[in-house]
Amino acid sequence: MDGSPASAAAVDLAADEAANRVTPLVIVHVHAGPLRSSTGACAPEWVDPMAAQRWLVDMTVAGVRAEHPGLAVSGELLSGDPARVLADRSSEACLLVLGHRRGCGLPLASVATSVPEWADVPVIVHRPLDRHLGPSRDPRPVLVGVSGQEGAGSVVEFAFVEATLRGAPLTALHAWSRPAGAVPAGVQPEAYGFVEARAEAERMLAEALAGWSEKFPDVPVRRTVRHTLDAALTLTEASRSAQLVVVGSPRQRGVPRLLFGSVYQALSDHAGCPVAVVPVA
């Protein structure tokens, strides 16, 4: 947190996540530079450049304790590059929650962009809910973008856990963009068309979800496949009716990472709900 409204919203979300998971909450502020208690050896306390940041951490911790009296809450004031420090610090956590605000040069925006690439735990970047739907009795679903890549089971599992903790249904979306003429190996082009490609996408989605509904029987699941040339736009539009969108972060270098970056960047800037990024080995 850094004292901005965006980080305050992230703290509220983190407190709810910690309370639902019955785990302690650590609120971290990272000072982009060395920590110094004063400007000089004999400087009076009132010129301590870190006093305001310590006060901010202490007041934030106190506020969360007041709202969640049963939650164990602590605060830390650290120094260094915020994105790197938070990614490293999160290695001892089960989840990292960040705020996000748009705008060139704003530290929180760059942190929210960089941390999911480095963190080894799931990262949730807070974004406000899109309110164009108006109030509803039914809870918004958790939306998970399902890819066909190996290791995507961790993404699906995280989405089911979040849906369980929130008492929400789950929408599993697979966006496929196989161009005309691109056919699986061993299949004759004349025997393969849109209908076959869609059936293949549905089969892949069913395989990715296989077994998870049995492990989480209380979570209603809706399967959706979409043909699109812009997966980021499709997920962004679908997120406007969700309460959380979950995507994976590939760990290998090259094209998959670049594709993830474009999808995540679009979601972090335009999603209609918080965005969860789950590392995929």
SS3 assignment, position 178? coil
Model pLDDT for residues 81-112, shown as the tens digit of each residue: 999 999 999 999 999 999 986 554 445 557 88
| Under 8 Å between Cβ of 155 and 122 | no
What the chain holds in terms of domains, given with CATH numbers, is 5-112 (3.40.50.12370), 142-280 (3.40.50.12370)
pTM reported for the whole predicted model: 0.84
Distance of alpha carbon 17 from alpha carbon 225, whole angstroms: 29
Model pLDDT for residues 206-253, shown as the tens digit of each residue: 988 988 989 999 999 999 999 888 888 999 999 999 999 999 887 654
Distance of alpha carbon 13 from alpha carbon 164, whole angstroms: 16
How crowded is residue 47: how many other Cβ atoms within 10 Å of its Cβ?
A: 10
Helix (H) / strand (E) element for 127: namely: none
Which residue is associated with the tokens 């990715």? 208
Query: Does pLDDT of 39 surpass 60?
Result: no
